[in-house]
Structure 1
């Protein structure tokens, strides 16, 4: 359950993040426990390394098997993962074959490894030669990090063993009882409060990327939203199973949990430290450009917590089209494309939306083009040091044939689409240049969506709910961005869920959202589709089957890895596995 982590192993080579930042690469040798914590630089490096795994759960390469890598986007109804015959984690969830024997153990292993490291840091903090103020803030950071990793465990498994400040060795008897769901929630809340009391509202300069008061309050917002959701109330999927109903969920239903979630999000908003990133001037007349541009910025007003990286081509190498040096996968499903509304904000299924199936990408929500590369997408390439617009086509019937035809459906993409979100349009993987990007872990748009959902469930669609959702739609470039007046709670619920799906696409949210809403048995239990474009005498768009996703009720939670239960047989497995 808890692997013994060598301090030397933590400090040999740190995962690189930000130049002139707190996660610079560091090389150390001949370190032991005493030399690590008796030296201020080594001790800080130890704390910094706990940050390095913060983004593992939503990382686009989370499930990495050889040359085939994907994340949670390929484990739900967002995208098709690469290499359909592989046995990666994303295939297991897509096909419904996940079980305790084969499930990836990263959520359990990485979380407890880092919780143990936080405990080591806190144990030795009194002797570390830090100033009193630095001891106070670094202690707060360690509490935040510990809360962060417990939340990772909670969203995957429900209640888990809380080890407190203990640091177990191979000789120690470790706890074999999973704490109640409510106990884990309360523990994380206490960790967030301990952090928020002593951290600055935001971090700047070389400390950008470290935990802040804003991040601690934002984690509370996410936690309480999950805790109020259907999956974690009334026993969840363990309802009627004595001994598990209070472990994987609250055994009862309490509507005030939504009010607490709304208050937590409101507290982040009230800091007045964050705002949606809006850019309406860089590209004249290009609505919603800020939504695209914010992900290429190292610093922006919207990131509350980010996973820092060196200048990189991380996403260009993974998601971009093959003609630009990308691996081309995972690739979005037609269902994801169809989730984006029209530019007037109406769903494409609305008869008044103006959607034309013979011109399906015209007059759509600008976030569609900023998130997904489709047939006839216009991309910039560089020749003779001059940017030139090139239209990418996905089939070979274009006359004359274009170089990008190798990106075609059934060649470069299994669905007819590629992910474009967070890709830097000025970077080509097989060319020169890198992006200063870092990956978002919490951004202000999520907080607005958290607030709208919780407030709507608590009191209904009041004016503040409208304001939160309309702010996101306005930044996205929808015209009009306003929602229909007089919506009831159910209608607003569906509007919020649609908005959350497209705004947070490919950021690791959809997988858990459909579970906490308990709709995955529908969204993740259907045939997924792609799009062929035939440019013969006339242009036609032909939808085709890609993969039948299978979902079992047990999959609302991850199974505890069998290897851990074998070591600690007192641990109760999650329901239905």
Structure 2
């Protein structure tokens, strides 16, 4: 009888069409439970939704998108080591194809559609068998349905983020259904994402608290709508052909520039910023605990030379930050072993991912006039910026000292005592065993008081937090009507939270300058938070004629790559090219006139070239659909260049 079918029997053919069968044949929840037995009991449905949360969590873990590595190391944020098969370096050398993509842990096509399938099973089963509500807490079933709609939409958004055009699957497919899945345009996908998110909004409260804390709420649904709207308002999906993009996607004619897309992104982001709780209070606010006088780390010690504010440490661990600033997050993604992966060798670490100079240069400095400017601006040199003493010659954005460990930085040593990091000598020197190749170590998210004793769980960073929507709103306002005092104040509020100076007043009258500041803010605020790998693609940076011109200037700046890196910086008041074709570093050189002194030795800093990288346009803007998927679903077409 139909009511007694095993819960997966009607799904197998669809699953083999959208991905490898082996991937899709996991049980939901076991192969002895019938549909009727499952969906006529609330507690079983609740378990299915919990399983769907786990699937969605694994599909997008910001801190470790490749399980062992962040996506930062496939961008101009960081360099990854060759452990764990050198996953990130495979991307940087172009060693990924439609026959295989490195680092699969649940974030690629087959696993994303497996999660979507789980959501469809739940929604169909609840409807077909009229699942009863939770007898202990009435109303829970509607919440679980709302959460499922969100998670289905969220997983489709993750498909959009790396593959672009794709099918939107909204039903649990029967064995006799025709498997004719076809791509839809990015804009069509977003409309369906929004439709599902709105179903979530109807059913969910503004706040999930108590034992439900961390579940999807109304704000997460609004956040998904805003992120999706913003995604298709950015250049990759909105005017790409006029901005240097040469690819031909299936629905290319739909991607001409339309300013209304920015208007809709603005409205969606504003809805997040203005969301109220059930009692009328603002749902979200920036984490602002601790003052400008607090510098203690997680062991209540100021071993950082009063350079890292307690607030900036705690915003990734304090429950108040997750309750008030996080719009969508997943819990406990890594544990204390992650610190060992990240620590410098002097603390027994293996420095798996190291910041690069391109990222370091994006941290502004605070001018004597009270405003923040990039260190590569015309004003920087006059204000005293010295590239041979780049960390102390001017006061850098406080987020810099929180995020990056540099030569001369105050940092705990292997005995958990105060020390000064030295990349010129000892175990932390550049290119020593397990040491940095770039001259930098990662500091963001570290609990520095932990020293290989006891346990730590890491939920940081949130998938989306409040600044994301402030920036989307500000960018959308700027793109539609130009700079305003409102967006100037909003962005400066995020900067002030980090004890950073405001943007200069000139941004109020210069649309291009405001755009530049917003992009730099995203890059600094969200460093190592799984944004850059997608942002540089959305903004078409490797196709930007201005970035290409900068690369030509760099090529003509010297006879060797390191000479080019040094002379380009001296001759051009500009950041390095954002073409994703190289990374650079900074190394100490002994110099009796140097301004950085460690253990009686004086140093100056100098730039150096680290490595070439591969980014092919338009090929690498989107990930390839694996050949096996295309063979199983002939209606699908491959992405450009693959």
Q: TM-score, normalized by length of structure 1?
A: 0.86
Q: Aligned to 2:530, which of 481, 488, 508?
A: 508
Q: How does 1:507-546 map to 2 (within 5 A)?
A: 507-521=529-543, 522=547, 523-535=578-590, 537=592, 538-546=602-610
Q: CA deviation at 1:478?
A: 1.5
Q: CA deviation at 1:34?
A: 5.1
Shift of 1:447: 0.8
Q: What is the deviation of 1:348?
A: 0.6
The CA deviation at 1:419 is: 1.6
Alignment partner for residue 93 of structure 1, among 91, 96, 106? Answer: 91
- Alignment partner of 2:430 out of 389, 402, 409: 409
Residue in 1 that maps onto 2:252: 245
Task: Tell me the residue number matched to 2:423.
Answer: 394
Shift of 1:446: 0.7
Output the CA distance in 2 between the equivalents of 1:310 and 1:573: 33
Residue 433 (structure 1) shift: 3.7
Does the 8 A contact of 2:406 with 2:439 survive in 1?
yes
Q: Secondary structure at the match of 1:63?
A: coil
RMSD over aligned Cα, in angstroms? 2.8
Alpha-carbon offset, residue 311 of structure 1 = 8.1
Structure 1 residue 442 corresponds to structure 2 residue 507: no
- Select which of 269, 285, 289 maps to 1:279: 289
The offset of 1:526, in angstroms, is: 3.0
Aligned to 2:220: 215
Q: Please tell me whether the aligned partners of residues 229 and 516 of structure 1 are also in contact (alpha carbons under 8 angstroms).
A: yes
The answer as to 2:233 corresponding to 1:206 is: no
Q: Which runs of 5+ in 1 are unaligned?
A: 13-28, 397-404
| Cα gap change, 1:85 to 1:508, in 2 (>3 Å) | closer
2:66 aligned residue (63, 68, 75): 63
Q: 1:437, CA displacement in angstroms? A: 3.7
Tell whether the 8 Å contact from 1:168 to 1:174 is kept in structure 2 after alignment. Answer: no
**2:46 matches 1:44:** yes
Flag the 1:507–1:242 CA change in 2: closer, same or farther, 3 A. closer
Tell me whether 341-350 or 51-60 shows the greater mean CA deviation.
51-60
Q: SS of the counterpart of 1:529?
A: strand
SS at match of 1:534: strand
Distance in 2 between the 1:483 and 1:427 partners?
42
Partners of 1:528 and 1:548 within 8 A in 2: yes
Give how far 1:166 is off. Answer: 2.5
Match of 2:56 among 54, 57, 62: 54
In the other structure, the counterpart of 1:110 is 111
- Give the C-alpha shift of residue 80 in structure 1: 0.9
Q: What displacement does 1:11 show?
A: 5.1
Pick from 291, 301, 312 the counterpart of residue 291 of structure 1.
312
1:491-534 deviations in Å (ceiling 9; x for gaps): 11111111111011111111111111111344133321122223
Out of 389, 394, 401, which is 1:369 matched to?
A: 401
State the distance in 1 between where 2:264 and 2:38 align.
41
Contact 1:451 / 1:468 at 8 angstroms: preserved in 2?
A: no
Instruction: Say if 1:251 and 1:534 are closer, same or farther in 2 by CA, change over 3 A.
Output: closer
Deviation at 1:233, TM superposition (A): 2.1
Q: 1:502 to 1:358 in 2, by over 3 A?
A: same
Cα displacement (A) at 1:487? 3.2
| Counterpart selection for 1:356 from 368, 386, 393 | 386
Separation (CA, whole Å) in 1 of partners of 2:49 and 2:84: 40
Q: C-alpha deviations, 1:202-240, integer Å up to 9, x for none?
A: 222221211111011111111111111111024658878
Q: Deviations over 1:81-118 (max 9, x none)?
A: 21199562x23432234331222564212210110000
Deviations 1:49-87 (A, max 9, x none): 2222435345443335xxxx3231111111112119956
Q: What is the rounded CA distance, in whole Å, between the counterparts of 1:35 and 1:6 in structure 2?
A: 22
Is the counterpart of residue 492 in structure 1 residue 557 in structure 2? no
Partner residue of 1:431?
453
2:496 matched to which residue of 1? 474
Q: Aligned ranges for residues 179-328 of structure 1 at < 5 Å?
A: 179-234=184-239, 241=248, 243-246=250-253, 250-271=254-275, 272-281=282-291, 283=294, 289-300=310-321, 301-309=324-332, 312-313=335-336, 315-328=338-351
User: How far 1:569 sits from its partner (Å)?
Assistant: 2.4
Corresponding residue SS for 1:461: coil
Question: Is 371-380 or 468-477 further displaced after alignment?
Answer: 371-380
Deviation at 1:421, TM superposition (A): 1.3
Aligned to 1:551: 615
In 1, the alpha carbon distance for the partners of 2:414 and 2:250 equals 62
Give distance in 2, aligned partners of 1:460 and 1:98: 40
Q: Which has the larger radius of gyration?
A: 2
State the distance in 2 between where 1:87 and 1:563 align.
24
Moved more, 200-209 or 477-486: 477-486
Pick the aligned partner of 2:180 from 175, 199, 207. Answer: 175
Do the aligned partners of residues 317 and 46 (structure 1) sit closer, same or farther apart at CA in structure 2, a change above 3 Å counting? farther
2:236 and 2:334 map into 1 onto residues whose CA distance is 39
| Corresponding residue number in structure 1 for 2:172 | 166
Q: Work out the CA distance in 1 between the residues paired with 2:287 and 2:36.
A: 45
1:130 to 129, 133, 147: 133
DSSP-derived class of the 2:492 partner: helix
Q: Give the distance between the partners of 2:26 and 2:376, measured in 1 at CA.
A: 57
What CA distance in whole angstroms lies between the structure 2 residues aligned with 1:305 and 1:240?
A: 33
* CA drift at 1:332: 1.0
Q: CA separation in 2, counterparts of 1:323 and 1:58?
A: 28
Does structure 2 retain, via aligned residues, the 8 Å contact 1:315–1:423? no
The separation in 2 between residues aligned to 1:235 and 1:340, in whole angstroms, is 28
* Contact 1:238 1:244 survives alignment (8 Å): no
TM-aligned CA deviation for residue 134 of structure 1? 1.4
**Residues 50, 118 of structure 1: 8 Å contact kept:** yes
Q: TM-score, normalised by structure 2?
A: 0.78
The within-5 A match list for 1:75-86 is 75-83=74-82, 86=85
Paired residues of 1:528 and 1:549 also in contact (CA < 8 A): yes
* Residues 161-211 of structure 1: per-residue CA shift (max 9 Å, x gap): 122123355x75422311222221110010111111221112222212111
- Does 2:124 match 1:154? no
| Offset at residue 535 of structure 1 (A) | 4.5
Contact 2:219 2:327 in 1 (8 A): yes
Partners of 2:492 and 2:503 within 8 A in 1: yes
Q: C-alpha separation between the residues in 2 aligned to 1:339 and 1:242?
A: 33
Pairwise CA distance, 1:241? 4.2
For 1:322 and 1:31, how far apart are their aligned partners in 2?
A: 51
Q: CA deviation at 1:551?
A: 1.5
